[in-house]
Structure 1
């Protein structure tokens, strides 16, 4: 019996998302979410997708990630999909930050764990949780291959001229300060899926990918390789987001500390959790913002306009970086579900060959499902809506590594 299944784990600070996929045909066998880990009342929602069974919910205390993952393993075992199954090829772990050390998916061993640990200062909220998930999964099945797939990997092809800040070089190198980029698995998946929509190989296509969720980022992908991305050393840089400022004059931080008397932690919270759309109008849900705009709310209108202005500016800039553009692709929660954002972000760019077909953009029901083009057939630049699938991307990268006969990649992070 061949091992053709991959379990994808995404361990957050207080949650674990998971999907089990059959790589022979891409079928999702099970999925779920354990949340509020470490709180008095945790919850696990498990969905047995392949069997058509009803979703199951457990409400109990998961003191730590170990308890949560053991509960996940029990639910999978109840469906005949246990972690000891000979059909399970590997576990693929989402790891947020790989720095410059990891330029591809990597089989996990002690050396890899040590390097992910060393990179914790670059992602203090994420890498520790990712490490906990990996170590717990190793405890549950020490013999099963574990693979780390990094959010930053897709952006390691960005040239030095775009990745380096104009900061004094010795200081930048000492403190690992450079552009790393995030949402890499989404950008990789969507750029390839967009090429497929156009009937071309990714190596033939230049695409701007707009990943618009509560966190938002944009990438310029040239022939399948990322050459520029909006998020930087951290996910704070770039587009206006749900609660993050995006681009900001760095002297604002100094001003807030010197004149406002704010501490480092207070500034951090302000920029990451109390700004963006929420800071501008009190809402970070684009659906609610659009409802308020339709009712004439001036604060909501200004927040929307600022959000759109930043999007349009990045599309124009990345068109210039690429020199030739074949497609613009929208993805993630806002990108996939907000015709108003798509329409406004590209309005006025007809001179660049970018046009949106109003009927296709506003389509509902079955016509608005799946990957699709929303530009007129004669448009010089295609506009696409591509639902992202980061779990499938992680599973594919994991399975390719463990099944391609290259065990020498174990422990070689770069």
Structure 2
């Protein structure tokens, strides 16, 4: 009997499902797709077979009632390519789960106890964990015999020391309500820090890296020898860098001031800081390409938004340089990090004394490959490393089911 080597990766959002099917013998993608606007009349499924001779992209439009129907349609599309969910070659289904608290520090085979804990963490991840749970339950109903593996965004950051993870508030209150810095985008930070070490020709244990995950959501991490020692996001993904629609770091008293002076409710302030701030709050756009176009045309608001974005980014580079003491590389990743050369150039400008610089020619090159964009003389490598969270989830899921272990590692500090 052939050993199953395929992993289906599911990323379930509140109204969407992203998926990829990979063969772990060679990390090859067999198919990928997206179901969006679930629950609306204008639902859409886009499926792309990646096998030779599999044909081109296929699209379905029309109402898709819920995640159960969405995954049923995904199963049908995969089956049409000879890759159905009933295949004996499928080893596991790997699920992105945003929040694992302190309890889950590694990929974990999902059972009732794991589901209950993910549900218990809903108050600290109300936008994400419920959708992740729906995806898990739906996939389990389709293949109850198959290992379902949770890979947590927060897991990579559980190695942070208490000095980095603790907020300076009353300890009893913090512990009672699980208030601490958890960090997010951990799957991306894990993948990129390891790929950066490979790019330098070294083992992850030998390298200190500052990873800058810059997309619509943005986060930074300080990684020492393959372990995260600090990260910019906190209790929620709101803390840290300036993002597309999120404010990042802001004086907590702003909340009280808006309540007292503007008469805003907690929910209204939540919407303000998460959806009407960041780049869109500063200039009305959260697309860096559009912001750069407006700057070229002399738009002052766009220029201010860019400057605020870069100023915050530069502060975090400096802070994490201090945390690490020695830095071997600064790695840019995700949509903005991989594609916006002006952001990379501006972020390290003026940091030559720290050994940081970019080569204008190398930095301007567009490529899907990991690459160094700093000059040879630079003491610290500046790298562009495309992230691959789906591959990371597939690798972690496959390694776990091959080990035949539950993979759940718990810390007794959680209360």
- Identify which range, 14-23 or 351-360, moves more after superposition: 351-360
Query: Displacement, 1:369?
Result: 3.0
Query: Displacement, 1:40?
Result: 1.6
SS of 1:180's partner is coil
User: Alpha-carbon deviations, 1:11-53, whole Å to 9, x = none?
Assistant: 0000000000000001100000001101122110000111341
2:400 corresponds to = 401
1:320 corresponds to = 322
User: Alpha-carbon deviations, 1:183-234, whole Å to 9, x = none?
Assistant: 0000000000000000000000000000000000000000000000000000
Report if the CA contact (8 A) 1:194-1:386 is conserved: yes
Query: Displacement, 1:405?
Result: 3.0
Report if the CA contact (8 A) 1:354-1:380 is conserved: yes
TM-score (normalizing by structure 1): 0.98
Structure 2 residue runs of 5 or longer lacking an equivalent are: none
User: Alpha-carbon deviations, 1:264-294, whole Å to 9, x = none?
Assistant: 1100000000010000001100000001111
Match of 1:165 among 164, 167, 170: 167
Separation in 1 of the partners of 2:21 and 2:290? Answer: 34
1:103 corresponds to = 105
1:19 corresponds to = 20
SS of 2:95's partner is strand
Query: Displacement, 1:82?
Result: 0.9
Separation in 2 of the partners of 1:126 and 1:112? Answer: 16
1:5 corresponds to = 6
User: Counterparts of 1:325-404 in structure 2 under 5 Å?
Assistant: 325-364=327-366, 368-404=367-403
Separation in 2 of the partners of 1:218 and 1:320? Answer: 14
1:254 corresponds to = 256
SS of 2:69's partner is helix
Query: Displacement, 1:413?
Result: 5.3
1:218 corresponds to = 220
User: Which 4+ residue blocks in structure 1 deviate beyond 2 angstroms?
Assistant: none
Separation in 2 of the partners of 1:375 and 1:351? Answer: 14
Report if the CA contact (8 A) 2:98-2:184 is conserved: yes
1:50 corresponds to = 51
Separation in 1 of the partners of 2:368 and 2:246? Answer: 29
Instruction: Report the RMSD for the aligned CA atoms in angstroms.
Output: 0.9
User: Alpha-carbon deviations, 1:300-340, whole Å to 9, x = none?
Assistant: 11110000000000000000000000000000000000010
Separation in 2 of the partners of 1:12 and 1:362? Answer: 34
Query: Displacement, 1:59?
Result: 1.0
Report if the CA contact (8 A) 1:106-1:413 is conserved: no
User: Alpha-carbon deviations, 1:363-404, whole Å to 9, x = none?
Assistant: 24xxx3310000111211000000000000000000000001
Separation in 2 of the partners of 1:199 and 1:166? Answer: 39
1:147 corresponds to = 149
Separation in 1 of the partners of 2:352 and 2:57? Answer: 47
SS of 1:325's partner is coil
Report if the CA contact (8 A) 1:27-1:50 is conserved: no
Report if the CA contact (8 A) 2:214-2:334 is conserved: yes
SS of 2:99's partner is coil
Structure 1 residue runs of 5 or longer lacking an equivalent are: none
SS of 1:98's partner is coil
Match of 1:188 among 187, 190, 215: 190
Separation in 2 of the partners of 1:363 and 1:159? Answer: 38
Separation in 2 of the partners of 1:122 and 1:81? Answer: 37
Report if the CA contact (8 A) 2:102-2:410 is conserved: no
Residue 208 (structure 2) pairs with residue 206 (structure 1):
yes
Separation in 2 of the partners of 1:59 and 1:293? Answer: 38
Query: Displacement, 1:179?
Result: 0.2
SS of 2:196's partner is helix
Query: Displacement, 1:244?
Result: 0.5
Separation in 1 of the partners of 2:199 and 2:306? Answer: 30
Separation in 1 of the partners of 2:62 and 2:107? Answer: 34
1:280 corresponds to = 282
Match of 1:306 among 298, 305, 308: 308
